[in-house]
Amino acid sequence: MRIINRSLSASLEHQFPSTFPTTLARIYAARGVTGPEELAYKLASLEHPKQFFDIHNAACLLADAIEQGQRILIVGDFDADGATSTTLGLLALRAMGAIDPQYIVPNRFEYGYGLTPEIVELSLEVEPDVLVTVDNGIASLEGVAAAKAAGMKVIVTDHHLPGDELPQADAIINPNHPECGFPSKALAGVGVIFYVMSALRAELTRRDWFEREHLPTPNMADYLDLVALGTVADVVPLDRNNRILVQQGLHRIQAGKARPGILVLLELGGRDRARIKATDLGFVVGPRLNAAGRLDDMSIGIECLLSEQPMLARSYAEQLDLLNRERKSIEADMKQQAEKTLIELDDAEDWPNGMCFYQADWHQGVIGILASRMKEKCHRPVIAFAKADADTIKGSARSIPGVHIRDALDLLAKRHPHLLSKFGGHAMAAGMSIKEADYQAFAKAFNDIITEWVTPEQLEASVYTDGELAPEDFSLEFAEQLRLAGPWGQAFPEPCFDGEFEVLQQRIVGQKHLKMTLKEPKSGLLVDAIHFFVDLNQWPNAAQWARLIYKLDVNEFRGQRNLQLLVDHIEPIARN
């Protein structure tokens, strides 16, 4: 493993005033922040909706539908981003006077992803006049055509990368549309529908709709808890615009001004909502919400988020919690089976550069997580497959920095048109369908392309840190400062540090966690540390010194608050 100090390449600290904490300035500079003004996460600093291609057209179509009492149907996706997008769209449309807007979410096991002709056929039961996709649709050429043929107006709102051909929708709002000038290309699906609803509110205001109908003008900030959750859970890069959305949403959640379902899911995850961080949305709420789409029906998650009554929200949240426990068990079994494949290859040097895993009995809803786990273990692009029907298998891909997985699949499809039935995604994740009989040929073609693209350095596991901490930074005050300095997340990582420590005590707690007392050598300061899910074959041991990669944390126990290191990696070292 290579340990790389990201701060060594940072040269922007001089743009922070001398009164700004030095270590914090170094951390921000390493993430491309040029000065304190970029850290003012106020709603007024958000990019304006008018920069979206086609957004005025979409707002007018929806405003016309509301004024004319037309039926509006939202077609969502079966992940956390899709669930929050669907919920936000429904709540905003209701608040703006739409008559009984409906939603439908494809069951991944019956219909697959996105707006398909089959979903359009199903949607005809509610006889919609306007169909709005959220977090999908940019690749739904046939589905959009079917909806148009059925007489619907179609508005596509999505954030995924478009293919060579765009659907013939009445309006397409996507920051990655080739004609879109919106600066933040990293918006999640929930961010896109937030902007569409903001534009709709502006159009209805211009038409004096709220005044004429005696309706209160909706406050779009009321939906930022959903935006924060969907943005973090979808692991999109936290550029400045996304950080504003997430930070504002976090503030609302921390103040208790959030959907009851979100508050209950945090409670079930053992989090104090007043002190949550962005990462809690990703590691606590997101997986529970995603469990519905992975194992059952995402409508459970959507109803949890839609519920106004805390008791009803709790009932749905408890169902989600049970599904998430089941998902963890299934995932553990699948990961163990995938790791057996690695053992059979004997040596890591024998691993393909692009790895594919498949077993006929794997759960289709969990292959995305499995691909992520195996990518982390092997540090190369991975696709995990599961059986979809008698002849077809579905794959979920995860990639490493520098390898654009959707582009790789696009090249594969052009070289081998018969291998890929369909695919879609973005730089770091993608999905696809292939014939089961083509699995071996596909795996070879995928490996060939990745081998052409990657360098040996890219296949070597690397971890980026913010270097060593000065002795004075080992304090509760600085740990709390870091917690409040976020939001941290994808492409704006939570600060982590590396250093050598003397190991004074070590023991296993909770059967698989390493608890330690360490001494910082420069100051002699004693500090507690914990490494969750440590390798029990390696620890505890007789090591007197260790090199750690860690984050600063505040441990609260029985009213006491103490500094604690959260260890991500530990290795024994020899030191005289």
Q: How far apart are CA 57 and CA 63, in angstroms?
A: 10
pLDDT in tens, 256-276: 999 999 999 999 999 999 999
Q: What is the pLDDT averaged over residues 562-572?
A: 94
pLDDT tens-digit series, residues 51-74? 999 999 999 999 999 999 999 999
pLDDT of 4 higher than 90: no
The pLDDT tens digits for 546-565 are 999 999 998 887 778 899 99
Residue 14 has pLDDT above 60, yes or no: no
Adjacency order of strands within the sheet including 171-173? 102-104, 72-75, 130-134, 153-157, 171-173
Q: What's the pLDDT score for residue 34? A: 85
Predicted confidence at residue 297, as pLDDT, reads 85
- For residues 174 and 190, give the distance between their C-alpha atoms in angstroms, rounded to a whole number: 11
pLDDT at 108 over 80: no
Q: What is the mean pLDDT of the chain?
A: 92
Confidence of residue 293 (pLDDT cuts 50, 70, 90): confident
Q: Tell me: the pLDDT tens digits for 523-533?
A: 999 999 999 99
- Calculate what percentage of the chain has a pLDDT beyond 90: 78
Domains of the chain: 50-319 (3.90.1640.30), 345-453 (3.10.310.30), 463-572 (2.40.50.460)
In the prediction, which pLDDT does 462 show?
A: 84
Q: Is the pTM of this model over 0.85?
A: yes
- List, for residues 201-247, the tens digit of each pLDDT value: 999 999 999 999 999 999 999 999 999 999 999 989 999 999 999 99
* Residue 12 predicted with pLDDT over 60: no
Bridge partner residues of 397 (DSSP): 383, 430
Would you state the pLDDT for residue 152?
A: 97
Report the share of the chain in percent with pLDDT over 70.
97
pLDDT of residue 424: 80
pLDDT confidence tier of residue 539, bands split at 50, 70 and 90: very high
Is 143 exposed, middle or buried, given 0-12, 13-18 or 19+ CB atoms closer than 10 A? buried
Per residue in 444-491, pLDDT (tens digit) is 999 999 999 999 888 888 888 999 999 999 999 999 999 989 999 999
Tokens 């990582």 belong to which residue?
493
| Residue 432: C-alpha distances to residues 388, 398, 411, 414, 421 (Å) | 11, 12, 14, 14, 7
Residue 10's pLDDT band (cuts 50, 70, 90): low
